[in-house]
Structures are given as C-alpha cells and as structure tokens.
Structure 1
Amino acid sequence: MKHRFSRMGVRGRLLLAVLATVAVALIVMTVAFNYLLSVSFRSDADDRLRNLALDESSRISISNGRVTLPQPTGEIQEFGTQIWVFVSGATVSSPNVEPNLQAAAKSLDGQPAQYLDVPEQEVRLYGVPLYYEEERIGTIVSGLWMGSYNYNLRMTLLATGALALVLLLVLGFVGRWVLNAAFRPVSRMTAEAEAWSIADLDRRFEMGEPHDEVTQLASTLDGMLDRLAAGLRRERRFSAEVSHQLRTPLAKIKAEAELALRRERNPAYYQEALASVSQSADQMTRTVEALMAAAQEEGSLARGRASVWQVLEEASASVGVLAGENGVRVRVEPPLRSLYIGVERDIALQIIQPVVENACRFARSTVILGAGRNGKEVVFTVEDDGAGVTEEEKDRIFEPGVRGSAAEAAEAGGATSRGAGLGLSLARRLARAASGDVEVTAGRIGARFVVRLPTG
C-alpha cells in the first residue's frame, strides 16, 4: 500500500489526502450530530415522562384512605404514553400491555425516582414516588413509546450518512478539477521542457511576476535557465574563439609543410621551416592559454606588462601568411619612444591580432600598424586602404557572427569566405576586460581601428 501510494502522482496524493481528511471530518461531524440528536430526543422524552407523571399525580384523589383515579386503557403503542399506579405494593391502575413490560413497570415500585428502558417494546419508563401527608404510599410509573424517536434517529443517521457520501463525491470531483487547474501550468512547463532542445537557449516559461508557488517555481527555473544559457553561450563563444584564433598559426604550419614537401630542399631550409612550425605551435599554445585565462578571469585582465613594439612586431608576423595570400603589405610604424602596456603580452596579442587580420582581409594593398600614448592609455592604430566601414556598421561589426558590408560584397562577387565574424567581437571583449576598448573610425582611405589599453 505504501509503495502504491509513493508511485502515485502529486495530484493523486494531494486528492487522496484531501478526501481522507474530509472523510474523517464528515464521519466525526455525522457521529457528533447524531449523538447530539439522540441526547436531545432522550431529553425530550424524559421531560414528557416527568410531565406525564406530574399530571397524573395531580389527577389522583385520596379519600378515606382510598385512591381514586381514571382507569387507563389500550396498548401503549396506540396512545404513545401510559400510566401505572402502584399503592402499597398493589397495582391500582395499569394499561393492557405485554407481561414483560408490565413486569418492568412493577419493578420500579418502591424504588427512588429513576428511568428504565425496555428495548423489546421500544418503551422508556419513569417511576416516581407517590406521597400522601408526607408519607410514601406508592409509585406512579409513566411510559413512553420510543418507536417514533428511534425511527427518526435511524432516518437521520441514514440521511446524514448519504449526505456525507454525496458531499465527499462532489468534493472529489471539485477537488480533482481544482487540482488539475492548479497543476495545469506545471503540466505545460513539463511539456515545454521536454520539447526544448539545446538549441532553444532563449526559451523560457514566462509565467509573469511570481504570485504563487507555481509562478515562483517558473521564475526560479527561468533564472536557472538564464544561468545555464549564459554558461553555454560562453562555452560556445570560447570554442568559436579558439577555432578562430588557431586558424592563422595552423595556416602557417600548413603553408610551411606544403612548401617543404613541394621539392627537395637543402637542410638549412628544412631547419628554417621546422623553426617556423615550432614558432606557430608556440603561438597556438599561447593562444589557447590566453583564451583560457581570459575565459576564467574575464573582467580582471588588466595586469602584467608588455612592450608595445614587441606586440606590434608579433602581430605583424602572425598575419604574414594571410597578408601574402591577399597580396597585402603590413607596415609597422614604431612608436617615437619606448612604451609599455599594463597587459600581458599574450593577451595584448589576442586583442591586436584579430583587428590586424580583419584589415588584411579587406585591404587593397597596405595595412599600417602604429601606437602612441594618450594620457594613461596606449592607443594602437590599424589602418587599411580597403572599402572602409559605414556609419551604421561601426557598432554592429563588433557583435559575434556579424560581418560588414565589405565581406558581403566580396562574397557576392564570388570571393571565398573572409571570416566568421568573431575576431572583432573577441578583440573588443578582451580589450574591455583589460580596462580598454576597440573602436573603428573613418581612416584617410579605408578603415581605421583604434585599440586602447592601459599603460604599464
């Protein structure tokens, strides 16, 4: 039984608990009502018996030692009440009744005032002493047929029992309807949750402001889904950024390998190629470590110290293969004096490199890298002679997965894909995490990107 109850649904258990509680309450109320009704009937019967005995005693006349009273006749069931009068042990007046009822009335003679039930005839008797000149001379016994009382009690018990059963059934249907209505939002939430997939990151239960337990649960689950969605987005963004940032060193490794395998080379060339592959592998390692650190410590990247000139040189070298494929020359303009930034070199490179790669993809012939100090900031500039960026795109191109009109125009002209639209988003995110920023302005010819980082 316990195992079956535990396997029931919440609605079933609640309905069963409510019905059990109400059933117990109805049983207690039915029993209490019928008990109080029986007490009331008994009290009414006792009052009638006492009044009957009192009336009869007032009708008795005693003269010269003789007791004179009306002679009762008929059965007790006919009149409902009857009287016995016993004087000095003798029966002076008696109705025509069954012997056992007659014997019961006789047994009250000489006894103090008391009641006596005769269940066989459904009769209640009341015996009271009869006095003459302050001396007891006999007993008056009044009798009352209780059949009508007992019938009313039985019918009341059946009626209240039937009413309780009907109320319980009605309550069961009403309770089931109310519970179904109350749990309908939970059922809907369950169905929606089963239908959602990992692609539905923005789906929510949306049950409005919390005002009861169900809407509070929905609000709590929506909050949990927000946190899970944010975590999944970070995970996806990290995977996309790692893939994006590893393409350049992987392309360099592939290019070096293809050139080395194209024909026989002298040992010096192979050593140079292997050194380049090793450098690209080191760059991949630094890239992964930098992105891991950025993912784990986002918001606190403004620490460490790096040379601005070294960052510019490494950024220029990292895009050598991409610049060669696009026929673009990357020129670095050294700063007028030694400058340092308050960011680790690998983090700074991950910020600058996507901006330089973007310039190499859309420049016609030249990309210029420069840097200078402006108060407490070091300002890196990346200029190209491409199509530039329209005013409407200045903020939109920094959104993940968004590419500007230049990339769309190139693809419309039959060119291959020029990126996934993740580099600039990564650069701005990392720059802002390092207390800097990445912006784009109109250049002298094409686009001019400005990277601001704190001085070190």
Structure 2
Amino acid sequence: MRRLGLRGRLTVVVGLAAAVVLAALTAGFNLALRSSLHDDADKVLAARASAALATLEVAGGRVRSAEAPSRGVVDARIWVYSGSRAIEGPGGPNSLQHKVTLLARSASGYAEDPATDTRLYALPVLDHGQRAGSVVAGISLEPYERTASRALIGSLLFAGTVLLLIMLAVRWVVGGALRPVARMTAQAAASTERDVDHRFGAGEPHDELTRLAATFDLMLDRLAASLRHEQRLSAELSHELRTPLAAIAAESELALRREREPSEYRQALGMIAERARQLERTLETLIAAAQAESSMPRGTADARDVAERAAEACSPLAAERGVQVRVTGPRTALRLGVDRHIGERILAPVLENACRYADRAVELEAVANGSAIEFRISDDGPGVDPMDSERIFEPGERGSRVSAADPLGAGLGLPLARRLARAVDGDVECLDSDSGALFRVRMPFG
C-alpha cells in the first residue's frame, strides 16, 4: 500500500469501500429475493390446499372426494387423507411419502423434503369441529431456486461491473484532480537554482490545489527575494571592497618599489591604515544593511546621542582638515527606530563627506518631521552640482566640483549610507543649497 502513489491509494480505498457497500447490497437483495420466493411458494401451497379442501366431503366421519381424481390433481401433488389413511395422492419417493404422512398426522403446518426439493403444506379436514382427515399440498422448489440462483449470478455480475466502473471513474477523477500536482512536480523538477523567477502560475486561487500553488508561489517569491538579496550583497561586497583593496595594494607596491625615507614609509603606512579603516567601515555598513533587510528586530536610540557619536567618529578628520563640527537640536528628546550603531553608521559617512570638503564649518541639526526624524548636514564647501545630486550615490562616483586628486575619496560612503538608511525605512538625499552642500538623512521614529 505504501508503494502506491496517492492516486493508487485513493482508488484502492474507494474501491474497497464500494466493494463492501455493493457486497452488502447484493447480499441484502438476494436474501430479500429468496424470502420473497419462499413466501410466494407458501402462498401457492396454501391456495392449492384450500382449492383441494373445497372439493372434499365428510360423511359419517369419513372423507371422500366429491369429484373423481383427475390427472391434473395427481400431477398437482395433492394428498387426501381420511383419518390417517391416504385415499388420494400421487406417487413419489419413499422419503417424500414419509414426509407427507408425518405432516398429515400433524394436521397442519409446513415441511420440506430435501431429497426431492419439495415443500409441503397440510390443512385439516374438519367434521363438526373434529378432524376427520387432512389435505397435503406439495410444490417443487426447483423453479424458485433456479430463479434465485440466476438472480444471484446476475447481481454478482452487476455488482462487479458497477465496482469496475466506480474504480475507473475514481481513477479518472482523482487523476484529473492530481494532474496539476503532477504538473507542478514536473515544473519543480525542471527548475534550477538559477531559475529564481519560475512560478507555478495556477491562476486565481479557487480550490485547494490552486490555493496550494499560490502559496508555493508566495514562498518562491520570498525565497527569490532572499536569494537576490544574497546575490546583491555578494556583488556589492566584491564591488565596494575592490577600491580600498586596490588602493592598499597600490600604496604597498609604491612603498616597496624603491628605498624611501622613514617619513615616506610612515606616510605610506598611514595611507594604508586609513584605507584599511575605510574597508572595515564598508564591511560593517554592508553587514548592518544586510541584517536590517533580513527583518531582524530593530532597537531604538536617542537621536541627539547618535548625532554626537557620529560627530565624534569624524572628529579626527575634522581636526586634520581644520573644520569645526557643530551639533544642534533636537529641543526635546527624540527616539530613533533603529539601534545606535545603525544610526551612527548612516550619519557618519555623510558627516565625513561634509568634513572632507568643507572649508571651515559643518553643522548637524536633528529635527522631527512627521513620522520621521531628519538630520540636516550642511557645510561651507564647494557644494554639489544639481546634476550630480543622484549620481554621487552610485558606488565609485563623486561630484564634479570635487578635486579628482583627493586621495581618500573612494566614492563609497554616500552609497553605503543610503543603502543602510533605506534598509531601515529611511533615506539619504542631497538637497539644493545656495552655499555649500546640504544633505538630509531620514530615519523612522522609535
């Protein structure tokens, strides 16, 4: 049974149930038919006995026939007894005569002679309330049994035919119902790990199987989204780590190409250390974005604390460039809907970008705006050309007003900041400004 498929198991189960029902119906039909034939035989016997009794006369306690015995009466198996003596009756085997005699003495009732397959019925002949004799009628049961046997054979053949038709119908119906499952199985077997957009496409859900297909499609959507997320993360890792790694390799090769002064080696090592820190920040930001996109529980943080920590992280660069960073607001405590380190990693690259290109001052202001908290970062540097307001968020791209000789600008900070902000339902934008650059960082309320 376990080796059979679902279609085979359902066919067998329904076939067994149908066989039990048909067997019960066939047995009931044949039992009812035999009972009906038995009753019909008894009615015929009673009618014959009554008809024979009507032809008898009783005089002086003796029974005699009012009519001369005819060949039809003899063939009709009618026995007439006066007292215990048979005065009329057909011949027959000894077993039958013995049964007739015993039944005649009992005056009334039924009896059967299995040897001749004959059923007997006796009626008493009364004379003023006293039994003067008996009339015994007999009938052969062979026609009735032949009818019952034929009916049994016919009902068995009919039940078998019906059972076969039921099993064929069940197999056809179940096969049609499971055909979509077989089709989905074949589609799933034919799909590959690269076929992330494959769907079963069973149409609008209207029954159990189409709802199952729709559920599978939703599951495949989630799996495809997860797979694309992993692929995007891998691509971004390879793309965004290439620049700092290439810079580290290039700086190392330049330092080793010829003998240098200790100060030159120190400068090269400082450059390598800065690129390594940039590489570390890139990795941390990408991992934080991946965690945020994976629907992991988010924490909360104080907006002022996040702003001050981001400013503190950029203080070495600000001191090196002679830039003053000022943090203002908010007037009341505001809670971000992200962890402190996530908020800091979103703000720090934008703030670092402002410190790198500002002349003297950078301002970081936090305000509440509707359902989000906004951080406005402005500087007094060359600003961003309106044509570059979106291009600068592409990995490796920098604004046209920025010097191409900038040794530390890799064009990764702003793209990573936007990626992480959007992962937590926020955003990073470059706004138009009359003087310097102006960036707006939005994060959800906690």
TM-score interval for Structure 1 and Structure 2 normalised by the shorter chain: 0.7 to 0.9
- Secondary structure class of the residue paired with 2:202: coil
Aligned to 2:63: 67
Equivalences for 1:151-162 in 2 at 5 Å? 151-162=146-157
| Counterpart in the other structure of 2:428 | 438
SS at match of 2:77: strand
Q: Quick one: distance in 2 between partners of 1:196 and 1:423?
A: 39
Q: Which residue is 1:414 aligned to?
A: none
State whether residues 199 and 220 of structure 2, in contact with CA within 8 Å, keep that contact through their aligned partners in structure 1: yes
Counterpart code for 2:249: K
Residue of structure 2 in register with 1:412 after alignment? none
Does 1:52 find its partner at 2:48? yes
C-alpha distance 297-93 of structure 1, shift in aligned 2 (>3 A): same
Partner SS, residue 295 of structure 1: helix
Determine if the alignment matches structure 1 residue 378 to structure 2 residue 379: no
One of 187, 202, 206 as aligned partner of 1:207: 202
Q: Is the 8 A contact 1:352 1:451 kept in 2?
A: no
Instruction: Please list the CA deviations of residues 146-180 of structure 1 after superposition, one character each: whole Å capped at 9, or x if unmatched.
Output: 22211111111111111111111111221111111
Cα distance, 1:336 vs structure 2: 5.7
Q: Is the contact made by 1:351 and 1:426 (CA closer than 8 Å) also made in structure 2?
A: no
Determine if contact 2:285/2:420 at 8 Å carries over to the other structure: no
User: Which residue matches 1:167?
Assistant: 162
Q: Determine the C-alpha separation between the residues in 1 that align with 2:210 and 2:427.
A: 41
Equivalent position to 2:192, from 172, 181, 197: 197
**What is the rounded CA distance, in whole Å, between the counterparts of 1:403 and 1:275 in structure 2?**
22
Give 1:305's aligned amino acid. V
Is the Cα–Cα contact under 8 Å of residues 79 and 86 in structure 2 kept in the other structure?
yes
In structure 1, list runs of 5 or more residues that go unmatched. Answer: 318-330, 361-365, 407-418
Identical amino acids, percent of aligned pairs = 37
Separation of aligned partners in 2, 1:58 and 1:169: 55
Measure, in 1, the Cα distance between the counterparts of 2:396 and 2:160: 73
Residue 115 of structure 1 deviates from its aligned partner by: 1.5
C-alpha distance in 2 between matches for 1:309 and 1:138: 134
Q: What is the distance in 2 between the residues matched to 1:63 and 1:114?
A: 25
RMSD (Å) for aligned C-alpha atoms: 4.2
TM-score normalised by structure 2 residue count: 0.76
Answer whether contact 2:58 2:132 (CA < 8 A) is retained. Answer: no
User: 1:182 corresponds to which letter in structure 2?
Assistant: A
Do 1:117 and 1:124's aligned partners in 2 also have CA atoms closer than 8 Å?
yes
Aligned counterpart for 1:110 among listed residues 99, 105, 115: 105
- Counterpart CA distance in 2 for 1:351 and 1:337 is 12
CA distance in 2, matches of 1:279, 1:346: 22
Whether the aligned pair in 2 keeps the contact of 1:72 and 1:95 (CA below 8 Å) is no
Q: Alpha carbons of 1:288 and 1:262: their partners in 2 closer, same or farther (altered >3 Å)?
A: same
- Structure 1 distance, partners of 2:419, 2:264, is 40
- Paired residue for 2:403? none
Q: Which residue of 1 aligns with 2:176?
A: 181
5 Å matches for 1:118-267? 118-267=113-262
Report the CA distance shift for 1:197/1:435 in structure 2 as closer, same or farther (over 3 A). Answer: closer
**Cα gap change, 1:206/1:371 in structure 2, threshold over 3 Å: closer, same or farther?**
farther
Equivalent residue, structure 1, for 2:77: 82
The equivalent of 1:416 in structure 2 is none
Task: Judge conservation of contact 1:311–1:349 (CA < 8 Å) in 2.
Answer: no
Per the TM alignment, residue 204 of structure 1 is displaced from its structure 2 partner at its CA by 2.4
Give the partner amino acid of 1:225: L
The range that moved more, 270-279 or 15-24, is 270-279
Q: Are the structure 2 counterparts of residues 423 and 146 from structure 1 closer, same or farther at C-alpha, using a change threshold of 3 Å?
A: farther
Question: Unpaired runs of 5+ in structure 2?
Answer: 369-373, 400-409
Q: Which shifted more, 60-69 or 12-21? A: 60-69
Q: Structure 2 matches for 1:306-345, cutoff 5 A?
A: 306-307=307-308, 309=311, 344=340
Is the CA contact (8 Å cut-off) linking 2:251 and 2:272 kept in structure 1? yes
- Partners of 1:336 and 1:351 lie apart in 2 by 14
Shift of 1:216: 3.0
* Aligned counterparts of 2:153 and 2:412: Cα–Cα separation in 1: 81
Q: Output the CA distance in 2 between the equivalents of 1:295 and 1:301.
A: 16
**AA aligned opposite 2:30:** N
Question: TM-score, normalised on structure 1?
Answer: 0.74
Does residue 33 of structure 1 match 2:29?
yes
Aligned to 2:298: 300
Cα displacement (A) at 1:89: 1.5
Per-residue Cα deviation, 1:286-311 (whole angstroms, up to 9, x for no partner) = 43334333333457376362445556
Distance 1:275 1:423 in 2: 20
Aligned equivalents of 2:146 and 2:44: distance in 1?
A: 18
Structure 1 residues 314 and 48: alpha-carbon distance in aligned structure 2, compared to 1, 3 A threshold: farther
